[in-house]
Structure 1
Amino acid sequence: MAEPKPDIDHVEKDASHSVADSDDIRGADFTVDESDLPKGYFRSLPFLGSMLALGISFACGVGGFAFAAPILSYINADIGPDPNLTWVALTYTLTTGVCLILVGRLSDLFGRRWFMIGGACLGTLGTIVCATAQDIPALIAGETLVGLGASCQISFAFTLNELIPFKYRLLANGYIYIWGLFASGFAPVISYAFVFNTNVGWRGVYYLLLAMNATALVCWFFFYYPPTFGMKHARQRKIGFIKNFDYVGTFLVTLGLLLFFMGLSWGGQLHPWKSAYVIATIVIGAVLLIVFGFYEAFVPLREALLPTHVTTHRDFMFAVTIWSLGSAIYYAFAIIWPTMLVTLYGGSHADNPMWPGYAALALNGGISFGEVVGAVVTKKRIHNIIQATLFIGSALLAATASCTPDTPARAIVLMFLGSSFIGWLEVVSSTYSTLLVKDQRELGTAIGFAGSFRSTLSTICSTVYTVILSNRLTENISNMIPPAVENAGLPASSVAAFITALTSGDTTALQAVPGMSPAIIVAGTNAYQLASAASYRTVFLSTIAFGGIGIIFSIFLPNIDHLLTSEVSTTLHSGNAEEAVTVPKDDAEAQNV
């Protein structure tokens, strides 16, 4: 017997009767109770094939960044050097951050099938370009295609969750994060293994991604048949949606996000923070995003890119902000943690080039471990789990500030534990956000916006951490290294040259510094490690501010246990006709007699 439906905010309509004009825009409602699905629906080949496509695609989308990031220096040494190397990573962030909101809204309106197939095609093409790249500009071009494809591939938060009963969404997300455990958790080890243990070198990661993208493409094409445009909008034609689409809003948010991301990414890297390039792009980008917000709120639009009821839903926005803060911690430390390992502890493991890859698992593996375990052990009272994991994870990461060059084990343990709780936070907050979407027909719109918001906040937090680290390193190095090397016998006139050579890692230049001796190198290296440890300490302590904001927001999150029902938002169909595979329970039972 089907469960009685609780009083919830989700919109539930029978798609067969007349709907209001606004519902023509949102599309027919395909919500059905799990008990009304055909027998064996969740064991059918279309459903299982779609689940496989979702898992592999997520691994491709995440791996497009995670596999390349740890070995960029080796790639640059092979086909570079090129001053634009940072764009290999930046272009991925830019494309995913900008396109998620577009993919979510457009696939809500026109159907998801061809967006997912198109994303797999772009990912496949991008990995081919990267795998055959002979210079850094070609690699950047390929990574741009990878990022565009990833905009569809990492959108499981709406492509997956709409196919799963509300009460099982958390477990389903855990299944997806198992794929993330491979593509992100073990990414550093896999990447280093290709570089040091194979003949293909760094190109091997793109050969692997090519095979994965091709497999996902096959699965999407043959198994994934969600509602089509005709099923969603029986009384409408595509041309009407195309004519009335929110092109102005799309232009404003696309250009605004691009400029804002570019300005933050350039600062302190390609250009000084006070550079006109940086200031102008950040300011113009921010202004365009503000204008976009007002435009969506006050201009009457038939098919708005971002309906205002999405951003004015307080509980949803709190949940999305917390979800974004969790991801911000990952992306920030994904940049800082590897450099910390090499700077503070790499010298004692110089004989093992794989050690940084293994140690990096403390972050990547911790996040993925928390995502998978959190999805399994969390049953109800998700809002309390969010509060607890955010507090504990933030506290453990802040405690990493106590680490010194002599405490590598403590740093790795604290990073793993803190990241595990942040990963747990990630899976529960993302699922929680999907359950709070009032009209599940707009799940792509709401979660697509959440993805772009998440990327924006992650970029801001990463920038803050990077600036703090850079400023503290400059200050601590200038204060701690000169007295250490001068006391060891280095002439004051050689201090500047010593610092330049030491921080660049150029041992030849270091030996050529006038007045150099082994004792001076040891003293200077020790002082550099202490200066770096003090700088990283400030970064870890700064996480308290972001964690504190999230903890305050989490206090206001409501209990949503009543939303954990057996309802499914969207069902797959056969692909031969626009007929959903769902049939009334009585008819299904009659067919089995």
Structure 2
Amino acid sequence: MSQSLELGFLASTAAITMPSAVLTSIDDDIGPNAAYAWMTTSQVVAVAIFSPLAGRLSDIFGRRNFILFGGLLGMIGSIISATAHRVEVVIGGGIFLGTASAFQQLVWAGIGEIIPRKYRGMVTALIEACVFPAGAFGPIIANSIVATTTWRWIYWIIFIIATVSVALVFLFYRPRNQYIREEGKTTLEEVWDLDWIGFPLYAGGLLLFLLGITFGGNQLAWKSAGTICMIIIGAVLLVAFGLFEAYYDQIFPLFPPAIMRKVRGFAVVLVGTFLFGTLYYSTAVLWPVQIEALYTQNLIDVGWYASTLGIAGMIFGPIIGFVFTYFGHARILYTFAVGLATIAAGCMAIVTPDSRIASSVLVGIMGVSISWGMAIAGAMCQLAVSHEYLGLAANLAVTMRNIGGAVGTVIYMSIFSNRFKSNMMIDVAMPLLKSGVPPASITSVIAALTKKTPESILTTLKPEQFVIGVNGIKDAYVHALRVVYLVSIAFGVLATICAAFTMDVDHLLTNEIDIILDEGAMVTQGLTDTGEGHVIYREEQEAHHHRTPHKDSAQDKGVQVRHY
């Protein structure tokens, strides 16, 4: 059964790791389009928006149908992208793939709830290891496909994996009593009790904020009205969402106060995960740039270097899961992982054109730290909440990492671009002028060296001038990369502080199992409801409907009121 869920997660991982390694190749074929990076960015944004909703719905109505829905969306997104003849269409396919990923990542809760709670750290790490082909070798596989056939096969492979996953989930995954039911209400009536105000506030606010910081400095100027309006309106909507969730009583809030008020056990872990994701993306985003600019431009070699991050994490992740399961001390392990990643990211500032071995080792350490830290954080989030919030808790950990990554990407790329442009004058233009290159030709020579224009003008340079130009370009990259890696230390320090203030969960590592599965393969769903799931009785429903933010008359009458 677990293999069916893991295949869906493998498909969602491949959908981001493989295309992101060959974005320029896709753009060269069906572009050019200045927004080509959105072919994968659209996935990240969609995951961040829909992951909490996917987790919440799966807690209330059961995970099976939503996992199947995610698989079908993944199949549709793969077909759209594989058959696209414009970059805009691939971006549209990415939205489908990202939304699918939000539901496919229910694997964390789906597997976590059927094993004893004390093994969740190990299982979380093993789930990461199960996506080894895409997580570790995605870049090399993608570059090999582009080198030997067409990039479209990347999406067809994702389609095949998603299709097999849907079939296996349909046949074998039938969790028993996995729901929250309101006594006396139909499923449609329960739908009306969902958070119909909170989710639009959250989705609209997050979308506008991410679009604002992404477009700023790229498609739009940072000072433009469009950028400023998107960021401000997005931030206001997110603040309004937080206030609404905290003070408006409802049966099924999107972010239940019952778990958000677990400060050290849950909220601080999420903040740490956000900052950890921001730290991680300094390497995840710029390592491929560093490889091609300084070490090699051979597609296969680029793929192998880029795989360093994933290979190290996938190998050592299960080991860390084993250590956590049998020795505990999650807070110490989490703090050490974040601290180690911070040191590795800062040490990446040693970058030079000859640092390929040292930089690769540091990237490997970063991969180990990320796999280690995210596995522990995911387990801590799951252990901190009761079963009726498990899907939301697991998906929120993914959401915060993605949001942190999106914010980090914008910050790092903005710093890198600005530094690189200013370095071009010092490291390239001035040395070329001193070597005798005519001032009128400098701009054209630099454009040719960075492959933005045809390279014919380079034939007019003397051999020593060409070497000066090539080395100057590398120096400009080196100096820009160093600044970014040093800036990332700040996020790492904050993340380490958050990790140190989380609550230990050793006392929660019990033999308790939340649900069981019906055994065997069945075409129909079978008997998966024995009446033993979470039930909200009529008295509790009435208590919610009569509460006010200031006085809980229902509680005064002795009725226990819970947020689901």
User: Does the pair score TM above 0.5?
Assistant: yes
Out of 518, 521, 526, which is 1:573 matched to? 518
CA–CA distance in 2 between the matches of 1:243 and 1:423?
39
Which of 317, 331, 342 in structure 2 is aligned with 1:394? 342
The match for 2:547 is none
The answer to whether 1:547 aligns with 2:496 is no
Q: Unmatched 5+ residue regions in structure 2?
A: 520-524, 533-564
Partner of 1:409: 357
Alignment of 1:272-311 (within 5 A): 272-311=221-260
Deviations 1:104-134 (A, max 9, x none): 1111111111100100111111112222222
Contact 1:573 1:580 in 2 (8 A): no
What is the DSSP-based 3-state SS (H/G/I as helix, E as strand, rest coil) of the residue aligned with 1:571? coil
For residue 469 of structure 1, report the CA deviation from its aligned partner: 0.9
Q: Please give the per-residue CA displacement for 1:492-538, whole angstroms capped at 9, x wherever unaligned.
A: 232233223323454525427xx633322210111111121111111
Q: Displacement of 1:275 after TM fit? A: 2.4
Deviation at 1:416, TM superposition (A): 1.0
**Alpha-carbon deviations, 1:235-257, whole Å to 9, x = none?**
43223222222211111111111
- The residue number in structure 1 matching 2:482 is 537
Instruction: State the partner residue of 2:471.
Output: 526
Name the structure 1 match of 2:53.
102
Find the counterpart in structure 2 of residue 21 from structure 1: none
Look up the equivalent residue of 2:387 and give its one-letter code.
Answer: Q
Q: CA separation in 2, counterparts of 1:579 and 1:111?
A: 11
Deviations 1:466-491 (A, max 9, x none): 11111211222222212211121112
Deviation at residue 229 of structure 1 after TM alignment: 7.2
Instruction: Indicate yes or no: 2:286 matched with 1:336.
Output: yes
Matched letter for residue 414 of structure 1: L
Aligned to 1:163: 114
| Distance in structure 2 (CA, Å) of the matches to 1:174 and 1:403 | 30
Q: Contact between 1:480 and 1:528, CA under 8 Å: does it hold in 2?
A: yes
The CA distance in 2 between the partners of 1:171 and 1:548, in whole Å, is 26
Residue 209 of structure 1 aligns to a residue whose secondary structure is helix
Residue 441 (structure 2) pairs with residue 494 (structure 1): yes
Q: Is it true that 1:321 corresponds to 2:271 in the alignment?
A: yes
Is residue 2:91 matched to residue 1:140?
yes
Question: Residues of 2 paired with 1:440 and 1:304: CA distance?
Answer: 16
1:188/1:302 CA distance change after superposition, 3 Å: same
Could you tell me how far 1:440 is from its partner in structure 2? 2.1
Q: 8 Å contact 1:62–1:154 — kept in the other structure?
A: no
Name the counterpart of 1:9: none
1:452-471 to 2 correspondences below 5 Å? 452-471=399-418
* C-alpha separation in 2, matches of 1:414 and 1:578: 48
Whole-angstrom distance in 1 between the partners of 2:87 and 2:409: 24
Distance 1:455 1:530 in 2: 31
- Corresponding residue of 2:550: none
Out of 485, 508, 529, the residue aligned to residue 455 of structure 2 is: 508
Structure 1 vs Structure 2: percent identity of aligned residues? 27
Match of 1:53 in 2: 4
Residues 336-355 of structure 1 mapped to structure 2, 5 A cutoff:
336-346=286-296, 350=297, 352-355=298-301
1:363–1:416: 8 Å Cα contact kept in structure 2?
Answer: yes
Distance between the aligned counterparts of 1:108 and 1:159, measured in 2?
A: 10
Q: Kindly indicate whether residue 323 of structure 2 is the aligned counterpart of residue 365 of structure 1.
A: no
Greater alpha carbon shift after TM alignment, 455-464 vs 223-232 = 223-232
- The aligned residue for residue 215 of structure 1 is 164
- Partner of residue 12, structure 1: none
Shift of the 363–565 alpha-carbon distance from structure 1 to 2, 3 Å rule, reads same
1:257 aligned residue: 206
Whole-angstrom CA distance in 2 between matches of 1:408 and 1:134: 37
Match of 1:150 in 2: 101
What displacement does 1:546 show?
Answer: 0.9
Distance across 2 between alignment mates of 1:243 and 1:534: 56
Point out the more displaced range, 172-181 or 446-455.
Answer: 446-455
| Residue equivalent to 1:563 | 508
Contact 2:277 2:400 in 1 (8 A): no
TM-superposed CA distance for 1:96, in Å, is 0.7
In the alignment of these two chains, the number of paired residues is 524
The 8 Å contact of residues 328 and 461 in structure 1, kept in 2 or not, is answered as yes
Distance 1:418 1:83, change over 3 A: closer
Q: 1:219 to 1:337 in 2, by over 3 A?
A: same
Q: Identify if the C-alpha distance between structure 1 residues 84 and 469 changes in structure 2 by more than 3 Å, giving closer, same or farther.
A: closer
DSSP 3-state at the match of 1:149: helix
Partner of 1:479: 426
How far apart, in 2, do the equivalents of 1:155 and 1:474 lie? Answer: 43
Label 1:230 to 1:300 Cα distance change in 2 as closer, same or farther (>3 A).
closer
**Quick one: structure 1 residues 231 and 310, their matched pair in 2 at CA, closer, same or farther if it must change by over 3 Å?**
closer
In the superposition, relative to structure 1, how do residues 231 and 550 fare at CA in structure 2: closer, same or farther (>3 Å)? closer
Q: For the residues of structure 1 that align with 2:319 and 2:303, how far apart are their CA atoms?
A: 23
Tell me how far apart the structure 2 counterparts of residues 263 and 509 of structure 1 sit (CA, whole Å).
39
Supply the AA of the counterpart residue of 1:109.
I
Q: Tell me, yes or no, if structure 1 residue 420 matches structure 2 residue 368.
A: yes
Residues 442-488 of structure 1 show CA distances to partners (whole Å, capped at 9, x for unaligned) of 11223333333332222112211111111211222222212211121
Q: How high is the TM-score relative to the length of structure 2?
A: 0.88
Distance 1:418 1:245, change over 3 A: closer
Query: Which residue does 2:14 correspond to in 1?
Result: 63
**C-alpha separation in 1, matches of 2:316 and 2:218:** 32
3-state SS in 1 of match to 2:113: helix
Structure 1 residues 61-70 or 322-331, which shifts more?
Answer: 322-331
Q: Distance in 2 between matches of 1:227 and 1:448?
A: 21
TM-score, normalised by the number of residues in structure 1: 0.84
In the TM superposition, what is the alpha-carbon distance from 1:80 to its structure 2 partner? 2.0
In structure 2, what is the Cα distance between the partners aligned to 1:107 and 1:354? 41
Conserved? CA contact 2:180–2:388, under 8 Å: no
Residues 460 and 528 (structure 1), Cα distance of their counterparts in 2 relative to 1, 3 Å cut: same
Q: Does structure 1 residue 430 correspond to structure 2 residue 378?
A: yes
Q: Within 2, Cα distance between the matches of 1:422 and 1:174? A: 11
Give the conservation status (yes or no) of the 8 Å contact 1:473–1:531. yes
Q: Deviations over 1:417-458 (max 9, x none)?
A: 222122211111211221112x22111223333333332222
SS of the counterpart of 2:131? helix
Q: Alpha carbons of 1:325 and 1:160: their partners in 2 closer, same or farther (altered >3 Å)?
A: farther
Cα distance, 1:332–1:270 mapped onto 2, change above 3 Å: farther
RMSD: 2.1
Are the aligned partners of 1:258 and 1:285 in contact in 2 as well (CA < 8 Å)?
yes
**SS of aligned partner of 2:299:** coil
For residues 340 and 397 of structure 2, the distance between their equivalents in structure 1, rounded to whole angstroms, comes to 24
Cα 1:563/1:330, change in 2 over 3 Å = same
Residue 146 of structure 2 aligns to a residue whose secondary structure is: helix
1:128 to 71, 74, 79: 79
1:555 alignment partner AA: A
